[in-house]
Amino acid sequence: MNMRVNQRENSIVEYINQFESATVSELSSRFNVSEITIRRDLERLSEKRVINRVHGGARRMDAPEIEASVTEFRQKSESMLQEKVRIGQRACQFVKDFDTVFMNSGTTVLQFLKQLQCQGVTIVTNNVAALDTPHYPGIDILMLGGVYNERTRSVGGEITSSNLLNIYSTCTILGVNALDLNEGMTTSVYHECTANNAMISHSRGKVIVLADSSKMGKISSYVSSPLSKIDVIITDSACPGEFVAGFEAKGIEVITV
């Protein structure tokens, strides 16, 4: 193995250790080599037991077993699609004409955006995918600045939080990676936490979490919000009753669709 390959593999390990996970396409773009080359690198690194090889990429050795690495955005969009459509449609009922709405990253919230039909609404978001999501012509999108994350197609960090400090929303619509009765709302991407927290703290109305049943009982690496700051959870009808009852016992309105 030549020195260039060794250097690249060392850099791959450093990158995965820093960001917890990475996809093959992400690494291919970053290191300017083919996806086939990256797959070979990941197989060798997995054999050396310095990374965990997973479908579509790799994750850090000490990453929590309770959640796999962040999947590619398209795969997430297609997962539980019909449930996300129903959840997004129900969330539209919380918005009226001329509202200002905070919307975070993720794919379920994009279904909300697609189906929302209100005049004069401003969607304030860190979700870059919102820019190429078809939406009602009466809706404006205010795109926040920040550090861009290719895996989640979102921005975050101090710049994002600073932008949000100057805005108050009528309500807040949040997607989520994982939702647990004890740990609350968690995410696998650290910079999303600051954006979510800033949105919640500057919401003048309800904080509404959109979470399909596959997210229930899961815990990711970083806490985005405790349950005490959530007003409404919209989920699908397959959500286990224990979670519905548990959330309601904590004073949260649970809507199943």
pLDDT tens, 156-204? 888 999 999 999 999 999 999 999 999 999 998 888 899 999 999 999 9
CA–chain centroid gap for 193, Å, is 10
Judge contact between 124 and 142, C-beta under 8 A. Answer: yes
**What percent of the chain shows pLDDT beyond 90?**
68
Residue 100: strand pairing partners: 122
pLDDT at 242 over 90: yes
The pTM score is: 0.73
Q: Average model confidence (pLDDT) for the chain?
A: 90
* pLDDT mean over 119-146: 95
Q: Domains in the chain, ordered, with CATH? A: 3-63 (1.10.10.10), 74-256 (3.40.50.1360)
Whether the CB-CB separation of 69 and 44 falls below 8 Å is answered with no
- Name 208's bridge partners: 173, 232
Residue 5 is predicted with a pLDDT of 85
**How many Å apart are CA 216 and CA 250, to the nearest integer?**
15
pLDDT score of 91 more than 90:
yes
